[in-house]
A and B are shown apart, each in its own frame.
Chain A
Amino acid sequence: MSRLRMLPSSKLNSRKISELNLMFKVLMRSPTGIIGLILTISFIMIGIIGPYVAPYDPILIDFSKMDKLRLLPPSLDHPFGTDEFGRDIFSRVLSGARVSLLAAIVVLSISIPIGLALGLIAGYYGGIIDEVIMRITDIFLAFPGLVLAIAFSAAFKPGIWSAILAVSLVWWPSYVRVVRAQVLQVREALFVEAARALGLSPVKIMIKHILPNVITPVIVLATLDFGSVIIVTSSLSFIGLGAQPPTPEWGRLVADGRAYFPEKWWYVFFPGLAIFLTSLGWNLLGDSLRDVLDPKYRRRLEFKERREEK
């Protein structure tokens, strides 16, 4: 395809850019979408630069000052207070963002490609291939995600990577389901038959024709899942199967803070708030994405703008 693409790509790209522009505008019209976008972008930024801008070292314990600094309530010096070792909780929360971000990225980077591949193959070929793939998927889906994740986690050495691996193993089946359902619909479309009439190979058809038409619900699901993965990994850390000390993972922090609740409420509150706001942000964004990706809304906006121009 590359040799044919060379000439008019500029015109095609300008078309695609104007579509993206419209998508952004649709997003901007939804208040929850804007909130979601702000929260998620903040989360990603903090995840990237968090450890560098943290005012105090999140891991190091100063034994000399520990007695004076331990379990201090929120103040100007320590906005989120300090933990039992005198460490600044604000810094720990900022650093923890990176762990959650990493976890979500890895889990989805593993689940989505597997889900897409298996879903496409199962949906397109049908028959015995479909049966085999779906029954295996069903076995995984039969267990509640968290329970299965706990089981896998417990089988591995405790640690954040074990938790991430466990969650990945649990996560891919739902994508297979979603993708396959879409593929079954798209497969019947006449343009797929037209592609076959041109002699395109099944792989090419799956990638070029079916995939772009099934990707939308995957994108929405992935966005919503970002928040869910963070909650699941936090939960694993909370019960001790995920991040181990001294890693400042949010779930871990909440677990550690439990012992001092409710007198030293800030210990539990702020990491919990971080988990809450982050998953809320992804949820709101994912919800709005559903509308953004639906061409109807873009058309609506396009017409409205055209009318206002006149």
Chain B
Amino acid sequence: MKPFIEVKNLTKFFPVKALFFTKGWVRAVDNVSFTIFKGETFGLVGESGCGKTTLGRLLIRLIEPTSGTVYFDGVNIYSLKGKDLREFRKRAQIVFQDPYSSLNPRMVVFDIIAEAIEATHAKIPINIEDHIVSLLEQVGLSKEHLYRYPHEFSGGQRQRIAIARALAVNPEFIVLDEPTSALDVSVQAQILNLLKDLQKKYGFTYLFISHDLAVVKYMSHRIAVMYLGKIVELARSEELFERPLHPYTQILLSAIPIPDPKIVRTRKRLKPKGEPPSPINPPTGCRFHPRCPYAMTKCRVSEPPLVEIERDHYVACWKYVKG
């Protein structure tokens, strides 16, 4: 598979303001580097405050980075302007988490999708209405939904509209930011299947962000685990679940709910020490060290780099670095 998106030393700090001066910085994304291959689903997991949402938005330039670059098909997206930037927007889209606020309540479905086409100057077909209807049909809706307002739809249907909006510009890369977290289990399965089918049909590359590890595993080829703005482990999905190396990943995996009483009641729960830290003043050295059961002196002092321990399996942990 060829590299499609290359993230290099991407950093985003948010200032914490008290009145007029800056009290501190939230290190939402801190010097993150990785590659996404064309046609794959790259999963991004972590708990609240880990930076995955920010990273997703950085990748489609919804927010500007503090430093670092993202190469999209060889081009640095942060240097794009005007027409080139519009071209990029056609190729990279996003589907948001909350179907209840991601659609303008004052616009009917037709307008919402037509706007996407018009804004990115995508090719305007002769018969716009038929074109939009065919988009809706791709996501499981129909012509009768064209002139309805968002509040007339259920959560699952709204999410389908949001997906149709992303499809309307013919993208190659779609960031899926917790697309099913707000939906019921049965609806979630429908939407996930839809996303998979669309990927098979159009060859999309996905960045799948979620806090639900089971869903991420189902959808993704590779998964990156984030903690406090850094990637702590990156591996193929199967590999990550079978042999989690980073202590945080191990703790995370031992905590996820598993719908099988025989297994889940006999598994060993690994408990992290203490409370989740604040992203404003992260701990020195390895960010996880205050809660890590294996913390050594080195961990308090310096940050471990993300290194390839085994083939395609990267970890950022001193436990695995010799010398």
Contact = CB atoms under 8 A, between A and B. Distances in A.
Interface of A: 1, 3-4, 7-8, 11-12, 15, 189-191, 193-200, 208-209, 212-213, 295
B273 interface: no
Interface stretch (B107-115, B210-218, B263-271, B276-284): B107-115
A213 B104 contact: yes
A4 B118 contact: yes
A146 to B, nearest CB: 34
Interface in B82-115: 85-86, 89, 93-94, 96-98, 101-106, 108, 110-111, 114-115
Contact of B129 (A3, A8, A295): A8
A208 B60 CA distance: 22
B110 A3 contact: no
27 contacts: A1-B115, A1-B118, A3-B124, A7-B127, A7-B128, A8-B146, A8-B147, A12-B108, A12-B111, A12-B147, A15-B108, A190-B98, A191-B101, A191-B102, A193-B102, A194-B96, A194-B162, A195-B119, A196-B62, A197-B62, A198-B89, A198-B116, A198-B169, A208-B115, A209-B104, A213-B105, A213-B106
B165 A194 contact: yes
B129 A193 contact: no
Nearest to B95: A194
A4 B124 contact: yes
A190 B181 CA distance: 15
B128 A191 contact: no
Nearest to B20: A131
B180 to A, nearest CB: 15
Nearest to B96: A190
A15 B146 CA distance: 11
Nearest to B93: A197
B134 interface: no
A285 B85 CA distance: 48
Contacts of A8: 110, 129, 146-147
A193 B127 CA distance: 28
Contacts of A197: 60, 62, 89, 93-94
B117 interface: yes
B147 A15 contact: yes
A21 B98 CA distance: 31
B101 A200 contact: no
B136 to A, nearest CB: 14
Nearest to B175: A197
B16 to A, nearest CB: 15
B298 interface: no
A199 B86 contact: yes
A198 B110 CA distance: 16
A41 to B, nearest CB: 27
A191 B104 contact: yes
Contacts of A4: 114, 117-118, 124, 128
B120 interface: yes
B101 to A, nearest CB: 5
Interface residues of B, number: 36
B151 interface: yes
Nearest to A211: B106
A193 B94 CA distance: 10
A189 B119 CA distance: 19
Contact of B120 (A194, A199, A213): A199
A197 B102 CA distance: 11
Contacts of B104: 191, 195, 209, 212-213
Nearest to A192: B104
B117 A189 contact: no
Given A194-B96, A197-B62, 5 more contacts: A7-B129, A194-B102, A197-B89, A198-B120, A199-B85
Sorted from nearest, which 3 A-B pairs have the closest CB atoms?
A: A190-B102, A198-B119, A199-B89
A193 B120 contact: no
A208 B114 CA distance: 13
Q: Which of B116, B119, B129 has the most CB of A within 10 A?
A: B119
B106 A212 contact: yes
Contacts of B98: 190
B125 to A, nearest CB: 10
B266 to A, nearest CB: 41
Contacts of B89: 197-199
A15 B110 CA distance: 12
B62 A193 contact: yes
B115 A198 contact: yes
Given A1-B118, A197-B94, A295 B102 contact: no
Nearest to B89: A199
A127 to B, nearest CB: 10
Q: Which of A193, A196, A198 has the most CB of B within 10 A?
A: A198
Contacts of B86: 199
A35 to B, nearest CB: 30
Contacts of A295: 151
Interface string B232-256: 0000000000000000000000000
Nearest to A6: B128
Q: Which of A11, A190, A196 has the most CB of B within 10 A?
A: A190
A189 B147 CA distance: 22
Nearest to A212: B106
Contacts of A198: 89, 115-116, 119-120, 169
Contacts of B114: 4
Contacts of B120: 198-199
A191 B103 contact: yes
A193 B96 contact: yes
Interface in B274-321: none
B314 to A, nearest CB: 29
